[in-house]
């Protein structure tokens, strides 16, 4: 998950609760407030620079895992024809409302990123804000890459970012994040996941409703892989890897990097 704007603390006092799947449900309606300080401008600059360097004629863009539409709206304002895809109908409802309020034309579809179909082809496909980390197996990551490949024009760009192994294991696991704002409070525990290099984000939200607070619980599971793994799978899916950098800097990933950014091209 992207880093939210609230404070961070550490706690090992709670026992993890086991859930069977992750969802976005109520979280969709809180997401924008919690992610108010997310580096959207950095993602936008990264995409601009990639397009300028490798495919300056880019016009049509597909944003997979578009969430509440923050990035698609920014991209549309820059002149791209943007289509957004997300698995969560709640996220897409928020995205639709936001786009309509700003009079931004967006095409939005509810689909699984592993099984995209009927969307046409694009000059660029993006999976941003560590959305790919919700794909938990090697086979499903490769299937997602193939879905992206199938929806790209020849030599189209595929741009995505993921959490580093360091961030999953050293920043998230056994950490607790939280806020005690008057309207919305939450506790966010991070536990070791079932898979190697995976984390379970166990979130409890407390939302003020007049004179009392209502509680909502969510579970989000993320997993990451090495840069070598992602690169190999991209090659197997007929992509050429053009660039691997870290933390929005023009530098190679290090052992302390937290976000890894890939630029690949359909070959």
Cβ–Cβ < 8 Å for 24, 88: yes
| Residue among 221, 246, 236, 243 nearest 267 (CA) | 236
Tokens in use for 114? 């592993």
Model confidence at 120: pLDDT above 80: yes
Q: CA-to-CA distance for 123 and 9, rounded, in angstroms?
A: 42
Strands (E) across the chain are located at: 8-9, 60-64, 81-86, 107-110, 122-127, 152-163, 176-180, 184-192, 198-209, 212-223, 239-246, 259-266
Q: For 106-129, what is the mean pLDDT? A: 97
Q: Give residue for tokens 């933390």.
A: 247
* CA distances to 68, 76, 185, 210, 217 from 179, in Å: 21, 32, 5, 19, 15
Tell me the three state secondary structure of residue 161.
strand
SS percent in the chain: helix, strand, coil, step 5: 30, 35, 35
Q: What is the pLDDT of residue 172?
A: 96
Window from 111-115, 173-177, 211-215, 224-228 with minimum mean pLDDT? 211-215
User: If pLDDT is split at 50, 70 and 90, which confidence band does 29 have?
Assistant: low
User: If pLDDT is split at 50, 70 and 90, which confidence band does 14 have?
Assistant: very low
Q: Give the mean pLDDT of the chain.
A: 88
Sheet with 212-223: strands ordered across: 8-9, 176-180, 184-192, 198-209, 212-223
* CA distances to 106, 161, 216 from 62, in Å: 10, 15, 32
Tokens in use for 26? 């109520």
Domains of the chain, CATH where assigned: 11-27+166-223 (2.20.25.110), 40-163+226-266 (3.40.50.150)
Strands (E) across 50-130 are located at: 60-64, 81-86, 107-110, 122-127
* CA distances to 52, 175, 184, 223, 246 from 46, in Å: 10, 29, 32, 23, 11
User: If pLDDT is split at 50, 70 and 90, which confidence band does 27 have?
Assistant: low
Tell me the three state secondary structure of residue 49.
helix
Q: CA-to-CA distance for 212 and 137, rounded, in angstroms?
A: 41
Output the CA torsion sign for 237, 262, 62, 23: positive
Window from 13-22, 77-86, 172-181 with minimum mean pLDDT? 13-22
Q: What is the pLDDT of residue 8?
A: 33
Cβ–Cβ < 8 Å for 46, 248: yes
Q: CA-to-CA distance for 130 and 163, rounded, in angstroms?
A: 6
Q: Which long-range contacts (CB under 8 A, 24 or more apart) does 247-252 make?
A: 248/39, 248/42, 248/45, 248/46
User: If pLDDT is split at 50, 70 and 90, which confidence band does 13 have?
Assistant: very low
Terminal C-alpha separation, the chain: 30
């Amino acid at each position: 998950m992207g880093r939210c704007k609230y404070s961070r603390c550490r706690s090992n006092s709670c026992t993890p609760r086991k859930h069977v799947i992750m969802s976005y449900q109520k979280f969709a309606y809180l997401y924008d407030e919690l992610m108010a300080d997310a580096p959207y401008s950095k993602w936008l600059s990264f995409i601009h620079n990639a397009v300028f360097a490798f495919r300056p004629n880019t016009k049509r863009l597909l944003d997979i895992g578009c969430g509440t539409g923050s990035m698609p709206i920014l991209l549309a304002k820059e002149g791209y024809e943007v289509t957004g895809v997300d698995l969560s109908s709640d996220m897409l409802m928020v995205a639709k409302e936001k786009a309509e309020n700003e009079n931004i034309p967006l095409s939005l579809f509810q689909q699984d990123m592993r099984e995209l179909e009927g969307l046409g082809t694009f000059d660029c496909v993006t999976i941003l804000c560590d959305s790919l980390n919700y794909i938990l197996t090697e086979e499903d990551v490769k299937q997602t890459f193939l879905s992206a490949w199938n929806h790209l024009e020849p030599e189209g760009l595929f741009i995505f970012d993921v959490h580093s192994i360091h961030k999953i294991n050293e920043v998230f696991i056994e950490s607790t994040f939280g806020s005690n704002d008057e309207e919305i409070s939450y506790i966010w525990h991070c536990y070791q996941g079932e898979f190697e290099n995976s984390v379970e984000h166990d979130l409890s939200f407390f939302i003020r409703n007049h004179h009392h607070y209502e509680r909502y619980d969510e579970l989000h599971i993320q997993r990451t892989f090495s840069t070598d793994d992602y690169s190999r799978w991209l090659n197997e899916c007929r992509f050429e890897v053009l660039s691997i950098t870290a933390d929005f800097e023009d530098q190679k990933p290090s052992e302390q990097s937290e976000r890894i950014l890939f630029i690949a091209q359909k070959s």
